[in-house]
Structure 1
């Protein structure tokens, strides 16, 4: 479009210069198609001045002598009367972030949102909101939201600071108050995101804002509560260690009792066996000779005591 406008102006200027040269009778310099160029250039300039091009990431608002036209211009080429003005607005997605770390959010300082849980414990949240204007409602936004001296981005900055931020804080506080700290920190984070998203969608409709997504990026405990949690975790770990030690000692005691009972039963068995054996020997002395025969290895003894004489006889002498 810009190139066409440049070409049309070149043609028009060429035709005007050619007519001027012809008018002052400069016979030595003759430019052809003076009249045709002037007419064609003028027609092109007028036609192109009526054409408005709206880009794929924009929506345009038309202001007429009677006010703002309620219907916006969407992507494409449009013919607009030259006495109307065109105002372009961004319809792409913007992201507003509140973050605890400095420099990560829209504010240069630490800007996490702190809200109390069901237990009254305050938690900090890093939150990002993806939003955009309702392109069909661009004329309403143009009329009702100030640019605040910020150029084309002024309305969006105003909406983020005065609508997105305020509504986000309110929605997050109302949502988090229904959850415990543990739920907000881990198990129910997705549920919290969805509830905040639904609240924001409802609250921002009146400003013709569309909320696409809410992302709870991080959750923080305050310093005192974090210390209490760490102390509790250490106590729980120590309790688990003591339980494990107790279990080990109980197992050792059980095993010792079992070993003791085995030893007692074994001793009782051996005692009973000796008792039975003694009774058998008393009633039948020949049992000793039988035991001796069972244990004899077939060799005669080297020495033998004489019967009551105190004399040792060497049986190996020949």
Structure 2
């Protein structure tokens, strides 16, 4: 449109030159033709719009927002329309205690009070996008700075409103996933009313007060020590049971020997042993007990 305006100015200059005395009026026609050409070129360029990938265009005519949107690509439109583009790709808004990690410089983490009155620090990332069909509504009712007007305050409010229903230790451990699900639901409902689509809420970190964190660590260490002691006691009990069974077996064996073996049986077992020694090729000396207990020694030497 700037080129068309420039052409109008040139056209006016040409008209003025035509009415001027010689020799300036000789250039009036040429300047007028140049002005007409620039106006036509400006109008043509203004009528051709290119919307980049991942964006949509919102049209306004004399301050009135049009309902239809222009998708990415090459378009020929009314040159009087003004086009404002909106990013419809996934966007990330992070609030973190780490400097320069989010959109705000410095510590931008969310500090909330839990149900037990403790201050908890939460780092969070919100993944969202603009609903393409709602871009005209956003432009007319919210404006281009919807991040500061909607994304940031809605997210922080949802976290604070839900955190007060949980104890600090529960947020840190067993109910963290439940907390994330509830704030996701709250943010999603608020975003959808304003033309935004929530894709995911990521609770990146939950930091407890130092005293509470030390107490939790102490409790965890005590539980680990108790579990270790239970293991040691169980092992000792198993060892005691093993020794008890072993002692009982020895006692039963000795009882069987003392009550179940006779003299004749012992003599028979001795003869069998002597026979095995006699048949052995390595035997050089054979000792045979006599019936009266006096041994007879046989030797090959």
TM-score w.r.t. the length of structure 1 is: 0.62
Q: Are residues 289 and 208 of structure 1, via their aligned partners in 2, closer, same or farther at CA, if it must alter by over 3 Å?
A: closer
1:252 aligns to 2:248 (yes or no): no
1:168 aligns to 2:155 (yes or no): yes
Q: Are residues 144 and 272 of structure 1, via their aligned partners in 2, closer, same or farther at CA, if it must alter by over 3 Å?
A: closer
Q: Give the counterpart of 1:228 among 215, 218, 230.
A: 215
Question: Which structure 1 residue ranges, 5 or more long, are not aligned?
Answer: 147-154, 282-287, 300-318
CA RMSD of aligned residues (A): 4.5
* 1:156-202 CA-partner distances (Å, limit 9, x unpaired): 2xx33343222212323444566677775567655544443332122
Q: Conserved in 2, the CA contact under 8 Å of 1:54 and 1:73?
A: no
Alignment of 1:98-109 (within 5 A): 98-109=95-106
1: CA distance, partners of 2:260 / 2:290? 19
Q: Which residue is equivalent to 1:88?
A: 84
Q: Which residue is equivalent to 1:79?
A: 78
Q: Which residue is equivalent to 1:112?
A: 109
Between Structure 1 and Structure 2, whose CA radius of gyration is higher?
1
1:290 aligns to 2:291 (yes or no): yes
Q: Conserved in 1, the CA contact under 8 Å of 2:110 and 2:156?
A: yes
Q: Conserved in 1, the CA contact under 8 Å of 2:65 and 2:140?
A: no
Alignment of 1:1-318 (within 5 A): 38=34, 41-42=37-38, 44-45=40-41, 47-48=43-44, 50-51=46-47, 53-56=49-52, 57-64=55-62, 67-71=63-67, 73-75=69-71, 76-81=75-80, 86=82, 88-92=84-88, 93-115=90-112, 123-145=120-142, 155-156=144-145, 159-176=146-163, 184-185=171-172, 192-272=179-259, 276-277=262-263, 289-290=290-291, 292=293, 296-298=296-298
Shift of 1:246: 0.9
Shift of 1:235: 1.0
2: CA distance, partners of 1:37 / 1:101? 62
Shift of 1:239: 0.9
Q: Conserved in 2, the CA contact under 8 Å of 1:133 and 1:210?
A: yes
TM-score w.r.t. the length of structure 2 is: 0.65
Question: Which structure 2 residue ranges, 5 or more long, are not aligned?
Answer: 268-288
Q: Conserved in 2, the CA contact under 8 Å of 1:99 and 1:110?
A: yes
2: CA distance, partners of 1:296 / 1:168? 107
Aligned pairs, how many? 263
